[in-house]
Amino acid sequence: MRGTDPRSIAGKAPTPERHVALVVVGAGVTGIAAAIEAARAGIEVMLIDEHPIDNDMMAMDAPLCFGQRIDPSVRNRALMLERVVETNPGLASAYEAGVDVQLGTYVWGAFVNGPTVQELPAPMLGLADDRRSWLVGYDRLIVAAGARDVLLGFPGWERAGTLGAGGAAALLVRYRALAARRLVVLGSGALGLQTAALALEHGVEVAGVVEVGARVRGHAATATALAERGVSFYTAHTIHEARGRTGEIESVVLVAVDGTGKPIRGGLKEIACDAVCWAIGLVPSVELLHLVGARLRFVSSLGGWVPEVDARMRTSVPTVFAAGDCAGFHDGRLATPDVAHAQGRWAGLAAAESLGARARSETQHEVPVASPAPDTGPHAYWQAWLDSLIAAGGWEVNVCQCEEVTRRELVETKPPRYLKWDSPQMNARRLATLLRDGPVNQDQIKRLTRAGMGPCQSRRCREQVGLLLAQAAGTTLDRIPLPTFRPPIRPLPLNVLWPADEPAAMRDTWVSWFGIPTQFSPHWTAGMAIDEPTAHARLILSDE
């Protein structure tokens, strides 16, 4: 005798608009290689990429940090689409191989059944463009989502003109829409040098490359070539502040630092520039991998939280593969796109074979692994930068721009300023008192302080919040649990996210809470149902 609960999700599971055998997310070198390889093996493949990104999204620093230095030409969608295609010749090859290529399409969610969800008919992705959202089911998923920018705060970094290396590269190369003329690059590793070279190639002046360490970290030959083109290198320097009128960066003040990152008295230099680009590293984009439940682990030398993958790039979730930068990378690999390509092909083949395609003889290659990291990973380097920024700029600098939370407010776990709260009890609470109850947890502290809770979805502050908390708690980033990612992983308007139509059952049986007729009955009128219409609800209180 099985009843039904018309208010539950049973029977109202979402139906994907389409179902595709293999979806590849990200049309970089890796994703394209994966898509082509699987298509050639006879598999139906959809390749999705969010570029060209719409202007409003760019203005929110999603998915990369564009720092408000965006030329208005990005509003011309047709032109931007043309540029995205033109600068990524692999896309044409994918078309030719029969891949269904979807550009300008955000992947904002991944939904799978698990311990608390059992009603989904298939694993599915939430997709959207600037007008609507829809769902696509898949049998296999390859995530080749690349990497995100890493930013650190300094006085004035809220001004327009603070970019990330990924955002700057996209504006320079794909969009040809960087609205800046004179760039200061922070970081002198491979990424920093590459960013400086890209800027010069595209006619942007490089006002300097700043390095907190005593010497340039990247290849000497590359640095020399840049120096010959007039680029100044400021080693053993950090940013003191950014200056300018009306919310703009018009100059940065650098300060010389000693071996421990402490400012040297009198070592200030002001450099005119209209943009500052953080190029000290990137982090693997593991948002979707987290949402599908793939096991992640922290490996500093691979950039931080990365998926556990087997020799064929398969994650702990058997239907999901991860390849390219989102599976982990290091600075030294920036110069070797062949690894990304090989990983993509490998994942494409593995996914195809898992769908029943016959293995081809040439697949018996060695597993394409990244060459060993040149050093222990970027986190110690980021920490050195952060130490110097704190020494130079102090604790009253915003760590979270969206919610205006300072470094001090973060490590003292202060409630947000808009609460205007003051009490002796609250003043006695800080991170140290919280740590008496358990290990540091970034999600808990973000909910107390609101650092990372804003519209940029913590893209600008996640890493520095983690570093600051780890340092204040006397631990290291790898010992702090991964702060979760929540869907939608792109900030989408209500009227884009909403479904154009809904099953009648969803509309007709919608209630705000469970629809149990007695749940909200006045206790003094036993049995009187007052909640939303509950004609079909049935109470089982006794053996009828």
Partner 1 sequence: MMSAMATTRGAAVVIVGGGVTGLSAGWWLARAGVEVLVLDKGIVGWEASGRNGGGATHVYSPFGLEEQRLWPQMDELLGYPTEYQPFRIGVALSETQLALARRWAEIGESRGFRWESLDRRQLKELVPIVGDNAIGGTYLHFGGHANPQRTVQAYAWALQDLGGRIVQHTTATGLTQRGGRVTAVETTRGTFGADVVVIAAGPQTGAFAEMLGAWLPLAPARVEMIATEPIPLMRVGGVAGNGLYGRQTLRGNLVYGGGPHEWINVPDMATPEHANTPLVRNLARRLAELFPGAAHVRVIRAWSGLVENTPDGLPVVERLTRPDNVVIATMSSVGFGLSPAVGRAVCELVQHGRCQFADLGALALARFADTPRDWRERAGWAAAPTAVGAAVGGDG
Site for partner 1 in 153-192 (CB under 8 A): none
Burial level of 43, CB count in 10 A (0-12/13-18/19+)?
Answer: buried
CA pair distance 544, 536, nearest whole angstrom? 17
The reply to whether 319 sits near partner 1 by the rule CB under 8 A is yes
Give how far the C-alpha of residue 241 lies from the chain's centroid of Cα atoms, to the nearest Å. Answer: 26
Q: Nearer to partner 1 by C-beta: 17 or 71?
A: 17
Note if the bond before 488 is cis, omega within 30 degrees. yes
Give the one residue of 20, 38, 135, 288 binding partner 1; rule: CB under 8 A.
135
- Binds partner 1 by CB under 8 A, chosen from 42, 376, 486, 508: 486
Parallel, antiparallel, or unpaired: how do β-strands 296-299 and 304-307 relate?
Answer: antiparallel
380 binds partner 1 (CB under 8 A): no
Give the nearer residue to partner 1 in terms of CB position, either 9 or 97.
9
| Burial zone of 542 (CB within 10 Å; 0-12 exposed, 13-18 middle, 19+ buried) | exposed
Considering only residues 409 to 428 of the shown chain, the ones binding partner 1 according to CB under 8 A are 415-416, 418-419, 421, 423-426
Quick one: which of 89, 230, 247, 318 contacts partner 1 (CB under 8 A)? 318
Q: How far is the CB of 114 from partner 1 (least distance, A)?
A: 5
Q: Which is nearer to partner 1, 78 or 494 (CB)?
A: 494
Which residue number, 82 or 119, has a Cβ lying nearer to partner 1?
119
258, 264 in Cβ contact below 8 A? yes
Q: Which of positions 50-69 make contact with partner 1 (CB under 8 A)?
A: 60
CB of 82 to partner 1, least distance (A): 27
Residue 275 near residue 184, CB atoms below 8 Å: yes
Quote the distance between the C-alpha of residue 339 and its chain's center.
Answer: 22
Secondary structure of 323-384 in the HEC alphabet?
CHHHHCCCHHHHHCHHHHHHHHHHHHHHHHHHCCCCCCHHHCCCCCCCCCCCCCCHHHHHHH
Under the binding rule (CB under 8 A), the answer on residue 535 touching partner 1 is no
The amino acid that residue 446 corresponds to is K
String marking each residue 259-298 x if it binds partner 1 according to CB under 8 A? ---------------------------------xx-----
DSSP summary character for residue 73: G
Given 112, 173, 253, 435, the residue binding partner 1 (CB under 8 A): 112
Quote the least distance from Cβ 182 to partner 1, whole Å: 32
**Helix (H), strand (E) at residue 393:** helix 378-393
Distance CA 41, CA 394 (A): 57
Q: Which of 251, 279, 248, 325 is nearest to 65 (CA)?
A: 279
Stretch that binds partner 1, among 116-124, 189-197, 262-270, 299-307 (CB under 8 A): 116-124
Strand partners, 296: 307
Min separation Cβ 396 and partner 1, Å = 21
Of 74-82, 231-239, 371-379, 444-452, which segment contacts partner 1 by CB under 8 A?
Answer: 444-452
How many Å apart are CA 437 and CA 445, to the nearest integer?
A: 13
If one asks whether residue 482 binds partner 1 (CB under 8 A), the answer comes out as no
The yes or no reply on residue 483 touching partner 1 (CB under 8 A) is: no
Residues 343-372 interacting with partner 1 (rule: CB under 8 A): 354
Reduce the DSSP state of residue 85 to 3 states and report it: helix
Amino acid occupying residue 199: A
Q: What six digits make up the tokens of 348?
A: 């494409």
The one segment of 64-72, 143-151, 227-235, 536-544 that binds partner 1 by CB under 8 A:
536-544
- In this structure, are residues 123 and 110 in contact, taking their beta carbons and an 8 Å threshold? yes
Give the nearest distance from C-beta 9 to partner 1 in angstroms: 4
Q: Is 504 in the site for partner 1 (CB under 8 A)?
A: no
State which residue, 78 or 428, has the beta carbon closest to partner 1: 428
Residues in 6-35 that interact with partner 1 by CB under 8 A: 6-10, 12, 14
Q: Which is nearer to partner 1, 199 or 292 (CB)?
A: 292
Shortest distance, position 429 Cβ to partner 1, whole Å: 6
Give me the least distance between CB of 395 and partner 1, in Å please.
Answer: 22
Q: Is 508 in the site for partner 1 (CB under 8 A)?
A: no
The phi and psi torsions of 521 (rounded to 5 degrees) equal -70, 140
Q: Which contiguous run of DSSP H or E holds residue 136?
A: strand 133-143
Interface pick for partner 1 out of 364, 474, 512, 535 (rule CB under 8 A): 512
Return the structure tokens found at 229: 């083109």
Among 79, 81, 97, 120, binds partner 1 (CB under 8 A): 120
* In the complex, least distance from residue 241 CB atom to partner 1, rounded to whole angstroms: 27
Q: Is cis: bond before 16, omega within 30 of 0?
A: no
- Choose the stretch contacting partner 1; rule: CB under 8 A; options: 255-263, 371-379, 447-455, 460-468: 447-455
Least separation in angstroms between residue 348's CB and partner 1 is 18
Is residue 441 at the binding interface for partner 1, with CB under 8 A as the rule? yes
Q: Is 122 in the site for partner 1 (CB under 8 A)?
A: yes
- Helix 442-449 with 462-472: angle, nearest 10 deg: 100
Alpha-carbon distance of 141 to 123, in angstroms, equals 9
**Contact call for residue 437 and partner 1 (CB under 8 A):** yes
Q: Report the amino acid identity of residue 359.
A: A
Question: How many residues in the shown chain lie near partner 1 by CB under 8 A?
Answer: 99
Instruction: Give the binding range for partner 1 (CB under 8 A) out of 17-25, 87-95, 144-152, 431-439.
Output: 431-439
How far, in Å, CA of 165 to CA of 447, rounded?
29
Residue 461 C-beta: closest distance to partner 1, Å: 14
